[in-house]
Structure 1
């Protein structure tokens, strides 16, 4: 009884601090035919977000600053001794039948990393920087008319369908050692309120973008019979709830609401970033609760993490107060010849913020792989 009371007080405290909280039982997965594993993942994330924040890192097992393809290694583990609780991957260039994704990760290796991460207890999320089907250009080719070209009746509709077929083949190959599908948080058409991708707000009407999302989800569900995917709606910066929801495709095709925002301000102006982020997180969490969805900070970070206390004085104050399921920082590429500077968002051994990251890791609200595994998020209920 005492443990139940303590658990209730923790949930009540978080709810009062954030100003809202729905019981996990009120939240339901959007796919009526979702696998048991996907349904359980959704339910566990719904429950955990009242008390914990899962820490994620993009491409964590594939490479880091100064290394690539070393079995069992990650930059995060080099600092705190365990891997992230969430592992992010991207399938851009899968549509081209390429052997590697746009960040040079072999797709065969990616599948193995996904299986390893899932088996060890981490949650898997996948984004898709798909090429522009209208022009053949990159995801950043914002040629007008690209969205309508792939919709039913458009000149590139058949091409887009063939790309979705390739996504389906990849997703169907993600199975655990028992032959069960690994649940995936799929985040297509991300940062929709930006203006840098061909699917963003500057390139189509809200209705067309909503139709693109709905068609994609329905095609993967109904035509390809994929029911182990949870769908993540994602924006860039936004002013209010109305702006956040302007391109929202509907509760029946979304499981997680999220946004991406990075700190570009100088270290001395970090309070501006914290305040703007906290305002958006409040809007996000309130909106997610009203729609009975999970809330998340799908991408964030500060390039090269020059602030030695960034983790505990910037990121932690943003995420600890509000019921966010997870927070993910972007990849650790290392030196970028194209820009002439270092490009990484997570810590590594010896990095200036590494000691502070240890304190961030030790905070009771944060979940990394081992602690998350103890929550049995990926263990099937019998």
Structure 2
């Protein structure tokens, strides 16, 4: 059984009555949405408690498909290797704004809803991003034609179109209900990797003030529509300083988790660059999180096709180090990409070269998968 080492250590110094609950009450964490549902407030508290035990492991589209399979109920590449599901499930709602039946990765929205409900029933947590189309050009999220953001702010020529998109997102969020009819809490990560220039909302394609206005409008509009089951995740790409990270930050009343994305690539085969970058960014983020009383996360990470057999314990674990993060989410297991003629996956599957090391990673005290959540909160 995985142990809560930190609480044991603290107990030695300040008495055995110290619990994760006490640690939470001694912080000033509170959700930005003052009308958040009780279930959403409860999840935020649990996320904070769990940082005292370790960090949650997440995987994008985990239940929908994996390497060489799609839409098989109960299946998961992560579960086939470890015997346990991820603690966090990543999804994307791009396509919703166009009334598509499937999202940007081909996942039917009705199945996504089913998977979110099933995960929630087991105690799992879902996070949602939105790679939605450029509202000014009609092209995809990577069409970084400048000034699209300006056109969707109040008074802009695409503002009405944008609010209709938010209406569809609100309807989807409110449709996510558990068996008791309660709204399922979601970690919502809009406008992600905002410090990069590759998305229409990214750096260089709008001003910091325009971005802040967009973020605030989105949050306020969804809440006006009765959406109170979201925990808002502010997410950047790489950054070099506190000022850099906070340049587009909308304010403490509009964000609940602060995070960044970081990937290892093939010109960094031993992972030294990845480890250094993640460590440097967590050092900055940790100071911000303490000052602002926010949780922090590595919201996307990975090494495509995981060619390093010891990547999990030798690289990812070192990159996170001792920082108290809420979760790390690995990107999706698409499998073979015909157009690119290569394999595209980020978590191991049965027979993959890093499979054994991933089991060792799973067995670490600080890595929390789905079964660990309930154990850790006892």
TM-score normalized with structure 2 length:
0.93
| TM-superposed deviation, 1:242 | 0.8
After superposition, residues 1-382 of structure 1 pair within 5 angstroms as 6=8, 8=10, 25-222=27-224, 224-266=225-267, 268-375=269-376
Contact map agreement 2:24 2:45 (CA 8 A) in 1:
no
Contact map agreement 1:267 1:307 (CA 8 A) in 2:
no
- Alpha-carbon distance in structure 1 between the residues aligned to 2:205 and 2:13: 42
CA RMSD, aligned part only? Answer: 1.9
CA pair 24-139 structure 1, distance change in 2 beyond 3 A:
farther
- Alpha-carbon distance in structure 1 between the residues aligned to 2:267 and 2:11: 38
| TM-superposed deviation, 1:246 | 0.4
CA pair 10-76 structure 1, distance change in 2 beyond 3 A:
farther
- Of residues 177-186 and 278-287 in structure 1, the stretch that sits farther from structure 2 once superposed is 278-287
CA pair 23-311 structure 1, distance change in 2 beyond 3 A:
farther
CA pair 103-213 structure 1, distance change in 2 beyond 3 A:
same
Q: Which residue of structure 2 lines up, in the alignment, with residue 18 of structure 1?
A: none
- Alpha-carbon distance in structure 2 between the residues aligned to 1:193 and 1:135: 21
- Alpha-carbon distance in structure 2 between the residues aligned to 1:331 and 1:285: 27
- Alpha-carbon distance in structure 2 between the residues aligned to 1:4 and 1:300: 25
CA pair 209-112 structure 1, distance change in 2 beyond 3 A:
same
SS at match of 1:26: coil
CA pair 105-268 structure 1, distance change in 2 beyond 3 A:
closer
SS at match of 1:201: coil
Contact map agreement 1:232 1:257 (CA 8 A) in 2:
yes
- Alpha-carbon distance in structure 2 between the residues aligned to 1:10 and 1:259: 34
SS at match of 1:203: coil
- Alpha-carbon distance in structure 1 between the residues aligned to 2:89 and 2:334: 15
Contact map agreement 2:24 2:48 (CA 8 A) in 1:
no
Contact map agreement 1:53 1:326 (CA 8 A) in 2:
yes
| TM-superposed deviation, 1:272 | 2.0
| TM-superposed deviation, 1:8 | 2.0
Count of residue correspondences: 366
- Alpha-carbon distance in structure 2 between the residues aligned to 1:70 and 1:99: 19
Contact map agreement 1:150 1:156 (CA 8 A) in 2:
yes
**Which ranges of structure 2 fall in alignment gaps of 5 or more residues?**
15-22
- Alpha-carbon distance in structure 1 between the residues aligned to 2:44 and 2:160: 32
SS at match of 1:317: helix
CA pair 323-333 structure 1, distance change in 2 beyond 3 A:
same
Contact map agreement 1:299 1:330 (CA 8 A) in 2:
yes
